[in-house]
Amino acid sequence: MSSSSEASTKTSSSDNSQSSLQQDANIVLIGPPGSGKGTQSSKLSVHYKICQLSTSDLLRQATQDQSSSEGQQIRKAMEAGGLVDDHIVLSLVNKNLTKPECSNRFLFDGFPRTINQGEQLEQLLASKQKRLDAVLEYAISDDLLKRRIRDRLIHKPSGRTYHEEFHPPKESMKDDITGERLDRRSDDTTETLNARLNTYHKQTIPLIDFYRQRNIHRCVDATKKVNDAYQESLEIVDYLHKQPTYKPASIDQNPVDKNVLSKNFLSIYNSVTSVLRDHGLI
């Protein structure tokens, strides 16, 4: 997540030039750890005035309850660089989608991460008569990711992130908004990063094809500067929102009655036969 001051000040000019999305606009951001999707998530949610749901933040909040077995499972998976069980993630997602501020439009940062999660999200949204408008993939090489993550800083109370080289705070080791101390994330180690990248390539990359088939996936160059990647994201979302969106197949609520079909066919057949006979054609 980026500094909210940066998000608010640098999106104000673009707010005047970019059209706001309609009430049902829903977005998914996909990308490996360190790709900048958290920063873009904050900026896009401010620009479009939509609810921002970061599954990483939701999962970290769930680990705060030391007595919860669910929190312990989440903590163990995150520390190992793996994925949290789908049923836990989907439970958190569904719970947050029921909140008033997220009931109409939302932006997912870091979810879904697997095809199974993608399919279940699709079913969940269909049950709420909603759809996804855009899926943005932030593409970047593993080598550059490792440079980005090595010096990453976080303001734990707000989730705002900084980087000593690419996005430094105004004052060393202090949050731009509150002036409070910044920390390094406990899972920003080389071992954990390698595990997370392996997990991403193995389980999340196939999800891209899933959304490409639905014609709502687009790729953003995550090696660009923050504002350049942001402008590219705006253009893509605005374009995709205007396009017809894939709708999952649903069970026909009014299936054809085979008996009625047979009777109708027989009636038509007899009528045609009668006409042909009257004209001496049969």
50-82 tens-digit pLDDT: 999 988 788 888 888 777 788 888 888 877 777
Question: Could you tell me the residue range of the domain that residue 176 belongs to?
Answer: 4-250
Paired strand residues for 273:
none
Same-domain status, 267 and 176: no
Same-domain status, 246 and 263: no
Give the CATH number, domain containing residue 172. 3.40.50.300
Same-domain status, 205 and 101: yes
Express each pLDDT in 191-209 by its tens digit. Answer: 888 888 998 898 888 999 9
Task: Give a three-class secondary structure readout of 150-205.
Answer: HCEEEECCCCEEEECCCECCCECCECCCCCCECECCCCCCHHHHHHHHHHHHHHHH
Among the residue ranges 64-78, 84-98, 127-141, the one predicted with the least confidence is 64-78
Same-domain status, 204 and 282: no
Same-domain status, 244 and 274: no
Cβ–Cβ under 8 Å, residues 236 and 44: no
Token representation of residue 226: 């923050």
Question: First and final CA of the chain: distance in angstroms?
Answer: 79
Q: How many domains does the chain have?
A: 2
Q: Name the nearest CA neighbour of 93 among 69, 117, 71, 119.
A: 117
Higher pLDDT, 83 or 207: 207
Same-domain status, 272 and 230: no
| Percentage of residues in the chain having pLDDT higher than 90 | 33
Same-domain status, 281 and 164: no
Q: What is the mean pLDDT of residues 166-170?
A: 89
Token representation of residue 231: 């402008």
Same-domain status, 153 and 261: no
Predicted local confidence at residue 245, as pLDDT: 55
Same-domain status, 153 and 45: yes
Among all residues, which ones are annotated catalytic? 37, 113, 152, 185, 196
Predicted local confidence at residue 275, as pLDDT: 46
Same-domain status, 118 and 234: yes
Q: What is the mean pLDDT of residues 12-34?
A: 64
Same-domain status, 123 and 142: yes
Same-domain status, 271 and 231: no
